[in-house]
């Protein structure tokens, strides 16, 4: 029986054997607590028939647990220095493939069709590099991958913003961009002590479950996100003032913006943070003709 990778002793042994030094710029904070890893994998609800896509396997702590609990794991790792280490630590597992690539540049759709043919249930599971959590999640969702969802560790502050409900101070364009595609929930708060080295911020695990169809039907998704970003540009401003100052030629089109707000039953003096995604959807459809 192999010793788990994710213990302080084994992790230190591996790092020493390879003379590995952490790169802060790559968000390298490795998990050294097997219990936390088991819980992360539990939240993904994998079966023996599932496939798992991991981003940033590090020295393989999470990869190992995914390999034990799924049919196949494919992991994207940007840091070449980790490849020989992973080949060693994951050698007992025949169902793991490591791809040396920046996830932001990867054609994940293509990798899925090559690596997961015949696998119907696919989850992304990751302890994300904190310097790029948001771009990674948004890319995976915008790529419309055939996945059931994403379970990932990230900064607690970002998790709070992703899962936020209207009317809270955390609710903003990020909450909308992600909840448009998924149901978002924070499932676990994680202390700094389970990482090596310890990060400066608190962490959380979120589960994003893909909706069968987006929460609201809109004519132009890109424009919906443009309208939401504009609406939150200055949080203390009303929706009317934000839209007229942020949308192209918005000042000249203030009358049309007022009309669109009235037509959709949204009081122009409300602030963006009080609008539901459905309201933003109706508003963006009503504004579309004026701005596009």
The binding site for S-adenosyl-L-methionine comprises 29, 31, 56, 77, 102, 127
The answer to whether residue 78 forms part of the interface with ligand SAM (CB under 6 A) is yes
One of 41, 52, 96, 132 touching ligand SAM (CB under 6 A): 132
Residue with token string 């909840």: 179
Q: How far is the CB of 80 from ligand SAM (least distance, A)?
A: 10
Phi/psi class of residue 205: alpha, beta or left (left: φ > 0; alpha: ψ in -120 to 50)? Answer: beta
The answer to whether residue 272 forms part of the interface with ligand SAM (CB under 6 A) is no
The Cα–Cα gap between 292 and 288 comes to 6
One of 10, 14, 20, 29 touching ligand SAM (CB under 6 A): 29
The answer to whether residue 20 forms part of the interface with ligand SAM (CB under 6 A) is no
One of 10, 14, 31, 108 touching ligand SAM (CB under 6 A): 31
125 contacts 62 by C-beta, under 8 angstroms: yes
**Spacing of C-alpha 109 from chain mean position:** 16
In DSSP notation, the chain reads -PPPS-SHHHHHHHHHHHT----GGGT--EE--HHHHHHHHHHHT--TT-EEEEE--TTTHHHHHHHHHSSEEEEEE--TTHHHHHHHHTTT-TTEEEEES-GGG--HHHHHHHH-TT---EEEEEE--GGGHHHHHHHHHHTT-S-SEEEEEEEHHHHHHHTPPTTSTT-SHHHHHHHTTEEEEEEEEE-GGGEESPPSS-EEEEEEEE-SS-SS--S-HHHHHHHHHHHTSSTTS-HHHHHHHHSTTTTTTHHHHHHHHHHTT--TTS-GGG--HHHHHHHHHHHHHHH-
- The residue among 78 and 287 lying less far from ligand SAM, judged by its C-beta, is 78
The answer to whether residue 138 forms part of the interface with ligand SAM (CB under 6 A) is no
Q: Per the annotation, where are the binding residues? A: 29, 31, 56, 77, 102, 127
Structure tokens at 63: 């990869």
Q: How far is the CB of 110 from ligand SAM (least distance, A)?
A: 16
The answer to whether residue 231 forms part of the interface with ligand SAM (CB under 6 A) is no
The answer to whether residue 127 forms part of the interface with ligand SAM (CB under 6 A) is yes
Q: How far is the CB of 82 from ligand SAM (least distance, A)?
A: 6
Q: How far is the CB of 158 from ligand SAM (least distance, A)?
A: 13
Interaction with ligand SAM in 85-124: which residues (CB under 6 A)? Answer: 102-104
Binding range to ligand SAM, per CB under 6 A, among 125-133, 211-219, 227-235, 252-260: 125-133
Q: How many residues bind ligand SAM (CB under 6 A)?
A: 23
The answer to whether residue 76 forms part of the interface with ligand SAM (CB under 6 A) is yes
- The residue among 196 and 266 lying less far from ligand SAM, judged by its C-beta, is 196
Interaction with ligand SAM in 55-74: which residues (CB under 6 A)? Answer: 55-58, 61-62
Q: How far is the CB of 44 from ligand SAM (least distance, A)?
A: 14
Other beta carbons less than 10 A from residue 107's beta carbon:
11
Q: How far is the CB of 31 from ligand SAM (least distance, A)?
A: 4
Nearest residue (beta carbon) to ligand SAM: 56
- Which residues form the interface with ligand SAM (CB under 6 A)? 26-31, 55-58, 61-62, 76-79, 82, 102-104, 127, 129, 132
């Amino acid at each position: 029986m192999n010793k788990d990778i994710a213990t302080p002793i084994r992790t230190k042994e591996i790092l020493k054997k390879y003379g590995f030094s952490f790169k802060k710029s790559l968000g390298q904070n490795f998990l050294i607590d097997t219990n936390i890893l088991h819980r992360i994998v539990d939240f993904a609800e994998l079966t023996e028939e599932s496939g798992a896509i991991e981003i940033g396997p590090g020295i393989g702590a999470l990869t190992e647990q995914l390999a034990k609990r799924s049919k196949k794991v494919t992991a994207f790792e940007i840091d070449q220095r980790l490849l020989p280490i992973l080949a060693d630590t994951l050698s007992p597992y025949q169902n793991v493939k490591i791809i040396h690539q920046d996830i932001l540049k990867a054609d994940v759709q293509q990798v899925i069709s090559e690596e997961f043919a015949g696998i119907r249930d696919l989850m992304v599971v990751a302890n994300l590099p904190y310097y790029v959590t948001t771009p990674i999640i948004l890319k995976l969702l915008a790529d419309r991958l055939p996945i059931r969802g994403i379970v990932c560790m990230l900064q607690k502050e970002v998790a709070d913003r992703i899962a936020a409900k209207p009317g809270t101070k955390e609710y903003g364009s990020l909450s909308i961009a992600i909840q448009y595609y998924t149901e978002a929930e924070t499932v676990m708060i994680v202390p700094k002590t389970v990482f090596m080295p310890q990060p400066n911020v608190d962490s959380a695990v979120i589960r994003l479950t893909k909706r069968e169809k987006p929460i609201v039907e809109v004519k132009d998704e890109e424009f919906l996100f443009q309208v939401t970003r504009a609406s939150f540009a200055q949080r203390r401003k009303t929706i009317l003032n934000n839209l007229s100052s942020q949308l192209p030629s918005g000042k000249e089109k203030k009358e049309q913006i007022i009309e669109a707000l009235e037509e959709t039953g949204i009081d122009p003096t409300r602030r963006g943070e009080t609008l539901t995604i459905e309201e933003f959807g109706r508003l963006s459809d009503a504004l579309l003709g004026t701005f596009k």
